[in-house]
Structure 1
Amino acid sequence: MDPRLRPLAQDNLDTIHPGAATSLFWEMEPAARARVEKAGEQRFEKEALLAGRLTEYGTCGFTLSFEDVAATVLYCSPAEAPGARALPSAPVRDDAQLITSLFIDPRLLGRGLESVLLDSAIMDLTGRGFSAVEAFGLRGDVEYFAVDEEIDDVLSVVAQREEIGLLGVDHLEGAGFRVERDHPVLPRMRLELPPARDLLSAADIEMLLREAALVAPGR
């Protein structure tokens, strides 16, 4: 079976990346999130949140799945991501939508699939008439000891980067994002819509998916 790229829908929420299916960092305030985690109801709560978002907001992500591996990108309005307010370069501007997270199986890294998911989100948001999209990025070459503000909070976010689907600055820059509010570790990035650069074509996406299939587990 070849990998499939699909917008999130009510009938495919069970195919998203396991991290995307359980992480509530972006969707809930810390206190509420802690209560859900204590009760062990993360998956149930996340599915309910995504189902509600699909009904009220429309498409809010894309997922790519192949056999037992998956990758998922999620996005929403800033109001639906209260967890983002904890980041040092917050808040997101009112005129922008927010790409909160991108989860990808380690076996799919470095295959260009991050670009496929980001461009799919950008194309959808552009087609719906939004004027901008923002995201928080993690710098890959920072000296964390140089951060002199709320260091514990920043390092806590960094330590959870895989669990919360934190995007890398390099992937965001590759998608055309530029720094909107700088920070030595977690800058807020922005892309005006429609983007100035050309997005991946359908042929480009199909080629990357085929290449991923060749190296996927079981091949």
Structure 2
Amino acid sequence: MGRRLVPLTLDNLSDLPQRCRSCVFWELDPVRADSAIKAGTTESAKESWLSAVLLEWGSCGRLVHVDDVPVGYVLYAPPDYVPRSIAFPTSPVSPDAVQLITGWIDPAYQRQGLGRVMVQTVAKDLLQRGFKAIEAFGEARWKQPACLLPADHLLAVGFKTVRPHPVHPRLRLDLRTTLSWREDVELALDRLLGAVQKEPALRPL
């Protein structure tokens, strides 16, 4: 089985699942996201967002291919490029951190260590760019796939709560720790990145 990780670009944006290519939960503020959904322009808005981040900040995602088939991805960026983040009661993300926006692994390819490889690749990229940590807004009452990752899954792979909240805690991971992860976190990472599987729905915070 040959696996290959590549940066997310405009050329391979189409390799994301359809539901993810058209989701702008994080990329637009709530008002603009609602307008884009009503106008049917979410895919073009997603492309415009990616283009802007690539031009101004650089690589903001990784795709993983197994035998040339795209089977997963992870998306990350500084909070200035993630308008939805300011809507959370536990914002803002720390100035030395990048926000883990979302991620996904095809369930058929879980338990193969892909989650660990993806996150370690992101960690190496961000460490080289001078960042110390990655932070995420978790869903403490997670019951079904949505745009937020489950808080308990984030905790299971080493994130620590830096600002508690009954619904949307903010969690933080020291990037240096990811470089020495053992294989026993692979299942937890696959569960984390496999949590977002269905069509995400925008909902008020």
Report TM bin, short chain. 0.7 to 0.9
How do 1:1-219 and structure 2 match up within 5 A?
2-66=2-66, 70-139=71-140, 142=141, 162-164=145-147, 166-195=148-177, 198-199=180-181
Query: TM-score when scaled to structure 2?
Result: 0.75
CA distance, structure 2, for counterparts of residue 178 and residue 197 of structure 1: 17
Code of the aligned partner of 2:33: R
TM-score, length basis structure 1: 0.71
In structure 1, distance between residues paired with 2:127 and 2:157: 14
Corresponding letter in the other structure for 1:9: T
Which structure has greater helix proportion?
A: 1
Q: 1:114, 1:190 → 2: CA distance?
A: 17
Question: Structure 1, residues 96-133: CA drift from partner, whole Å, max 9, x if none?
Answer: 21111113333334444333322221221111111222
C-alpha distance in structure 2 between counterparts of 1:171 and 1:115, whole Å: 13
Residue 73 of structure 2 contacts residue 103 of structure 2 at CA under 8 Å; is this kept in 1? Answer: yes
User: How many aligned positions are there?
Assistant: 183
Q: Percentage identity across aligned positions?
A: 36
CA distance in 2, matches of 1:2, 1:75: 25
Shift of 1:2: 3.6
1: distance between equivalents of 2:89 and 2:8? 29
Structure 1, unaligned runs of 5 or more: 143-157, 206-219
Corresponding letter in the other structure for 1:108: Y
Amino acid of the structure 1 residue aligned with 2:65: S
Shift of 1:68: 5.9
Asked if 2 retains the 8 angstrom alpha-carbon contact of 1:77 and 1:98, the reply is yes
- Partner secondary structure for residue 145 of structure 2: helix
Q: For the residues of structure 2 that align with 1:7 and 1:75, how far apart are their CA atoms?
A: 11
CA distance in 2, matches of 1:119, 1:20: 22
Question: Is the Cα–Cα contact under 8 Å of residues 120 and 179 in structure 2 kept in the other structure?
Answer: no
The structure whose Rg is larger is 1
TM-aligned CA deviation for residue 196 of structure 1? 7.1
Rounded Cα–Cα distance in structure 1 between residues aligned with 2:100 and 2:178: 18
